[in-house]
Amino acid sequence: MNLIDRLLGRDINAVQDAERLYMAILSQSRLPEFYGAKKSPDSYDGRVEILSLHMAMVLRALRTHGEQGERLAQALFDAMVDDFDIALREEGLTDKGVARRIKPIVELVYARIKHYDEVVDGDDDLDLIKSAALEQASTNFATKLHNYIKEMQENFKEKSLQDLAFAKIAFPKFS
């Protein structure tokens, strides 16, 4: 991938940092505590929802670090898209099939990231947490998710760009 990155003019360090950070986000978003009855469904939509939530919070934190943070944020988003591409290819899709399927996935994730930005910027309305993927979630789960988002925001405020780049972040415990 390094040769391709150089040919495309991507910053190799940003790509490596983004991949490391993306793996930390992906790992956190796959924790079983987020999924099940009255929680996020353990389905494609539910997993995209929880991944988007975590991406939104990390991207938000990166944007507070100026141009370098913006560059890492873009590399992080690109790492996620690359991961989706790989997953679709592993399903046996051709280049044309991947191109057709990846656009709606990226649009969905982008919309969910934007939604979670609005949740953080908005008031404390728990209804903002709800989405199509979380419509069956209990009020208790929505409250926990809301508190989790707020705690994550507080944790990330204290992190330097270097901490974020090296995935030296501690996600709050979700309980």
Query: pLDDT by residue (tens digit) across 20-45?
Result: 999 999 999 999 999 999 999 998 88
From CA 108, how far away is CA 90, in angstroms rounded?
21
CATH 2.60.40 fits 2-30+40-165, yes or no: no
Strands (E), the chain: none
Token representation of residue 37: 């009855």
Token couple for 7: 């040919």
Taking the model in full, what pTM does it have? 0.86
pLDDT exceeds 80 at position 92 = no
Q: Is the pLDDT of residue 94 over 70?
A: yes
What's 17-56 look like in SS3?
HHHHHHHHHHHHHCCHHHECCCCECCCHHHHHHHHHHHHH
Of 75 and 86, more confident: 75
Average pLDDT over residues 68-87: 90
Count of beta carbons in the 10 Å neighbourhood of residue 13 = 12
In tens, the pLDDT along 108-135 reads: 899 989 888 888 887 656 666 767 668 8
Half-sphere exposure of 91 (CA within 13 A, CB side): 11
In the chain, where the domains are located: 2-30+40-165
